[in-house]
Amino acid sequence: MRTRMITRSKALALTATLVCFACGPAPDGENAALVSAEAPWVELFNGRDLTGWVPKIRGEELGEDARNTFRVEDGILSVSYDEYDPDTGFNDTFGHLFHEELFEAYELLVEYRFVGRQFAGGPGWARSNSGVMFHAQAPQTMGVDQDFPISLEVQFLGGIAGEERPTANVCTPGTHVDMAGELVTQHCINAAAPTIPDSTWVSVAIVSNADGSVRHVVNGDTVMAYEGALVGGGEVSERLDGAPALGLMLTGGYIALQSESHPIQFRRVAVRSIAGR
């Protein structure tokens, strides 16, 4: 895997066309992603293949995906389980598709939808459940049997009529977040977001500023904000040498799309550089 480090200063040169701009905190009640229209998007998913991405499936070495979990079909990045053995079941083989770049000070845009039914043997909580990890540890530092990377997760949830399952929550494998000046140690924190039915395309933006502050934006509405994150939580099965140290404040890292047993599709994954105030 090619790994190209993009530090705070190098992030502004992600491409020759990226333009730096200011991104302040969102005033209450305002919609929109609150980033300059002058900053062009860089498409991380090219719509043709998985160039620039590498899988890490629990129980498999980095770069292996024996059951073709992550694939591109008809211009869509699909997470599928049709090559998994139904007799064996999912068996906690959580997976992550990492982009090869390391990012700081950026807005990430992900467009997704849940499809089909959850694969046999997946945990109950994983029905219509997936997400994107960011500020993640380097995939080379994950153990073969590690379930989730040390990271922040924007949790994607789908639902059916009558359910209350807000999307774009924050979950914290191996981390904690600072909200309104208080360190919050619970694993998942719900966003002020709607329940969006399966099969519906959803646009989620993650605005990650250089000062560590983060906002989640769903279909143009800001639904969650927090001031920063640090390494120190649970919910990670292994910690190898080279993984982020306990107490480290996170302002950047890797991006990864999840496989958690329910099929999901991604039609766009894009990023643009920002400068926080």
Look up the CATH number of the domain holding residue 131.
2.60.120.560
5 part of a folded domain = no
At 275 the pLDDT is 64
Number of structural domains (the chain) is 1
At 241 the pLDDT is 77
Across 12-20, average pLDDT: 31
At 19 the pLDDT is 29
What pLDDT band is residue 236 in, cutting at 50, 70 and 90?
Answer: confident
Whether 220 has a pLDDT exceeding 50, the answer reads yes
**Amino acid letter for position 250:** L
What pLDDT band is residue 38 in, cutting at 50, 70 and 90?
Answer: low
28 part of a folded domain = no
Entry pTM: 0.85
211 part of a folded domain = yes
105 part of a folded domain = yes
Whether 14 has a pLDDT exceeding 50, the answer reads no
124 part of a folded domain = yes
At 58 the pLDDT is 97
Look up the domain containing 192 and give its range: 10-18+38-271
Q: Residue 96: how many CA atoms within 13 Å on its side-chain side?
A: 28
Cα 225 to Cα 209: distance, rounded to the nearest angstrom: 11
Cα 170 to Cα 84: distance, rounded to the nearest angstrom: 29
Cα 171 to Cα 151: distance, rounded to the nearest angstrom: 9
23 part of a folded domain = no
* DSSP element (H, E) containing 82: none
Token duo for residue 235: 């919910």
How much is the CA Rg of the chain, to the nearest whole Å? Answer: 17
Q: Are the C-beta atoms of residues 75 and 52 closer than 8 Å to each other?
A: no
4 part of a folded domain = no
**Amino acid letter for position 257:** L
Whether 100 has a pLDDT exceeding 60, the answer reads yes
Across 87-99, average pLDDT: 97
257 part of a folded domain = yes
The pLDDT tens digits for 46-72 are: 999 999 999 999 999 999 999 999 999
Cα 154 to Cα 46: distance, rounded to the nearest angstrom: 22
What pLDDT band is residue 161 in, cutting at 50, 70 and 90?
Answer: confident
What pLDDT band is residue 242 in, cutting at 50, 70 and 90?
Answer: confident
Across the chain, mean pLDDT equals 87
Whether 79 has a pLDDT exceeding 60, the answer reads yes
